[in-house]
Structure 1
């Protein structure tokens, strides 16, 4: 009996109990957990994808209406959007943690109801890497299997996409629209940083912020060689006043990404590797003189 007790004790020590942990989110709030969260609600698609990329999809119990990748998450309860979440639905699922964007106004409401919230909102490459590391700690996934592995894939894939491009596309002046407004991806955004690594010139400077809302006249004056539109809206091709004079519009050098590709290129997460390849493909079509 004594030998059995010792064996069980050693087994317990080897496996280890679920341990307490702390993470500091992008609000600067430190959130403590008695053990690694097992029931997770994600209200931001890039966070949903990141959890699954760390092979922890099984912990998700609910997602926002825009989380659609991988396909398995489509079977989960849909809990509204990041800005208009279904509070009652979230509470009913009894999650250990709710992942959401910093910009969501629902965090205080959820916390007042006793739920733990971790707010993460990556906007740059460095942010993406840091958020992956934070999620790795939260999910208790070793960095070598989670954050570090994913970042190596992203980083090497962006470099490979850049190396695959022909010299004639380098320094192409690009305007990338993420949504009607127009809202653009500036140099300092994760999209802008990918464009820079591909060797392109973003016409929206870092001084305007990651995703500024522009006056359409700004783009007319910038006169880009190529326009990329990662806009899921059906209004993606509705012209803005004066855009007929833009070089890219006159030459029909416009890449309008479909819904699935738009989801890839505008989400700062593990599929940024694929996003770089999509943008590189657009560039090669433009460089070859065909309409993307």
Structure 2
């Protein structure tokens, strides 16, 4: 906690001297956070996957987690680059004298911390608190909308083919818990573990939430025709826009909760 307070004070001190006017964001959830806090106009470039709000689609796209275009980023002369802690670009950009702030939003608490950090950088600390409270209220409302009869159902959320699933300790897993669902992927397996498909058959989820691309091949997996969710037609297929909302641990998590609640309520 002490280290976090020192870091926050440092961010506030930085803002007192120079609020960033040229920002590059290399993570969609951070792009969305900057925009929700009213500073979309400060963005001069984003990663290849940032696509919300619509205005960021017109910005230069400069790569992603593993392939950020350092030369192009430097040429844009940013005051600040926001990226994930695991990005290879951080050390190279810092060596070139560019200010970097790294975050790793994976859980709901990580999202709160990201709001606070970005809010401090932008001079929007109070707005960040309001947005966090608004988002929490939206998640609570989504949970209230799930019928009592659907509480406790066993859920499998597939993040990607593999299959990779959202575990209990991922932000998706935490949302499912708040909605009253029982995630079949325990915390002991990690945040987004790769599963043996037979594990899912044995766990027998009552609801499956999955992207359209993965849904097309899911039914060809051996034994999956025996899963309750498939037999009873409780497979909730998310389109790409819905998948983006749910997958990104950022300011649209209330919308994500509403999408997941809709899947549970069918």
Q: TM-score, normalised by structure 2?
A: 0.91
CA contact (8 A) 2:26 2:65 kept: yes
CA contact (8 A) 2:105 2:111 kept: yes
Which of the residues 231, 234, 252 maps onto 1:271? 252
Q: Which has the higher contact order (CA 8 A, sep 6+)?
A: 2
1:108 aligned to 2:87? Answer: no
In structure 2, the residue matched to 1:210 is 191
Q: Equivalences for 1:57-206 in 2 at 5 Å?
A: 57-143=40-126, 145=127, 147-206=128-187
In structure 2, the residue matched to 1:246 is 227
Cα distance between partner residues in 2 of 1:235 and 1:152: 34
Cα distance between partner residues in 1 of 2:45 and 2:12: 20
How far apart are 1:103 and its partner, in Å? 2.0
Cα distance between partner residues in 1 of 2:172 and 2:195: 17
CA contact (8 A) 2:131 2:251 kept: yes
Q: TM-score, normalised by structure 1?
A: 0.83
Q: Give the unaligned 5+ runs of structure 1.
A: 1-21, 286-292
Q: Give the unaligned 5+ runs of structure 2.
A: none
Structure 1 residues 270, 30: closer, same or farther in 2, change over 3 A?
A: closer
CA contact (8 A) 1:23 1:32 kept: no
Cα distance between partner residues in 1 of 2:6 and 2:51: 26
Larger radius of gyration: 1
Aligned length: 257
* RMSD between aligned residues: 2.0
Cα distance between partner residues in 2 of 1:91 and 1:217: 48
Q: Which has the higher helix share?
A: 2
